[in-house]
Structure 1
């Protein structure tokens, strides 16, 4: 089979897998619209979506459930794609925003914001992604500087170890700041750290949407650069790629995307680890093929986890981060054993 035929086959497979995942995503979203504290029959949901439902049904769907589902969709896409960039640009298949400490930096930025401003709704919500991005960017810079060697570049194992150490230290500082909060704000911080999808208003959707709409196409446009990184720095340099500059740009985009996502969805880990691996197994290593699939996998995982957490454990909802961790923990151990082998 020649190169063109193989490329065409992989492209068709990527389209097919994307359509299947899109169908799965729509199914999960529809189930999520039906479930919750107030369960709505499927036909009533359809009528309400087209403007023929009762006032109560329309309010439940459009004021409570749809904004939350939109947040989980956007954040799932952001976490899945940012995880793929982290793994390739850092040359570490176990890299993830949570494992590398980026989520810890975002959490510190969020706690710093609510410690001084204590406003989480209305126009003030638009500032939350900026503070989480600032916290995540600073911590990412520190981690990458400490893991960098002038001869070897970014050392994968050092990146993981430094990320764990920095994450522990920043976590302690975040806890110290959170202890100074009032009772209600502290309860919110605790839910956020546990991975609870807290944002339930349309203003939160508009706060996150620009980050996804702008950053995801930019990353996809750099798919060829990611392919070169996957082949090795020497190959990238050989074809004229500015490796250091491109790596800094891509990692910065991944940090911004992951921090914006967790700012509205809570401190959720493992999606950025699992989604790229699943996507690569489904459609192959070409980033132009598996980046959209990684985003769809992240979307399905997060929407499903949030739906399970708030519907199967009534009356006490379980944070989506807990559901994801219950699945992601064993998957992470499996990856560790396979890498060791």
Structure 2
């Protein structure tokens, strides 16, 4: 409170406004972006187990960002880093779609299996790239791959914020079409929804949200899986209210994980992505057993 009342020392103000506050905002924004991305993937694929991390979208973004940071970057992160992540995410999306389609149709189970396979393959390439990275960048790259938010600054906030400001309202404007899409492809077509165009728009938004979030916060999985499920417990169905609730829960989940990662060790801190995985992996297995 002393900081906001301007009664704190210069060192405390520096810590709060230059280190803690940007880190808090990045946690909220990245968590919201990953959560909304998972919500959109689950809506389009009609699969409640879909998640950008499980489908390989995060891995594709992580690979291209890793290659850039490890071999080409000089100095601070560039403003086009999210675009580099989008290239990797789009490539992973194309692979998942190619291997997941069956007779020109997308089946949820086949898409999930294709995503797991693509994720495994890209993860192997990422490991090889990590081995080949220089010693100076190795520690930073491994921490980034674990999903750490340590060291984020106001520059990272301004890198991520425009993507959410543009994409989430655009998705909300298509909220009615998303509600109809949830009823099934055949019903959506019968009710006048332009199916292919709507699916393409939603997929592009989901890929860009996941890529931008991963490029700033690192490779974090399961946020996009957990947040939509929790949101539907409050709203009961998928609509714009659920989407907003999903964004809030995703941001709070990643923020809570980051805070827990900072205090769980007596010295130093753990990556927030590890905490999210410890929460998300059992949840994913439980949902998978319920689906079976």
> Same fold per TM (> 0.5)?
yes
Q: Does 1:135 align with 2:88?
A: yes
Please, which moves more after superposition, 250-259 or 184-193?
Answer: 184-193
Match status 1:98 vs 2:59 = no
Check whether the contact 1:192–1:198 (CA below 8 A) recurs between aligned residues: no
Counterparts of residues 88-167 of structure 1 (less than 5 Å):
88-119=43-74, 121=76, 124-151=77-104, 153-167=105-119
Give 1:328 shift. 0.9
Please say if 1:260 is aligned against 2:215: no
Q: What does residue range 9-24 of structure 1 map to in structure 2 within 5 Å?
A: none
331-340 vs 94-103, which deviates more? Answer: 331-340
Aligned residue for 2:80, secondary structure, equals helix
Query: Following the alignment from structure 2 to structure 1, what is the Cα–Cα distance between the partners of residues 80 and 107?
Result: 34
Task: State the partner residue of 1:175.
Answer: 127
Q: Would the aligned equivalents of 2:23 and 2:149 in 1 still touch at CA under 8 Å?
A: yes
Q: Please state if 1:309 is matched with 2:256.
A: no
Q: TM-score, normalised by structure 2?
A: 0.96
SS at match of 1:52: coil
Give the 3 Å change call, closer, same or farther, for CA 256–57 of structure 1 in structure 2: same
RMSD of equivalent CA atoms? 1.3
Any runs of at least 4 consecutive aligned residues in structure 1 with deviations exceeding 4 A, and if so which?
none
* Runs of at least 5 residues in structure 1 that lack an aligned partner in the other structure: 1-45
CA distance in 1, matches of 2:150, 2:111: 30
| 1:51 and 2:3 correspond | no
Distance, in Å, in 2 between the alignment partners of 1:119 and 1:304 is 32
Count of residues paired in the alignment: 292
Residue in 2 aligned with 1:243? 195
- Whether the 8 Å CA contact 1:198–1:264 is kept in 2: the answer is no
- What TM-score comes out, normalization by structure 1 length? 0.83
Instruction: Sort the Cα spacing of 1:61 and 1:190 in 2 relative to 1 into closer, same or farther, 3 A.
Output: same
Q: Match of 2:78, SS?
A: helix
Larger Rg: 1 or 2?
1
- 1:127–1:314: structure 2 CA closer, same or farther, 3 Å change rule? farther
> Is there any run of 5+ residues in structure 2 with no aligned partner, and where?
none
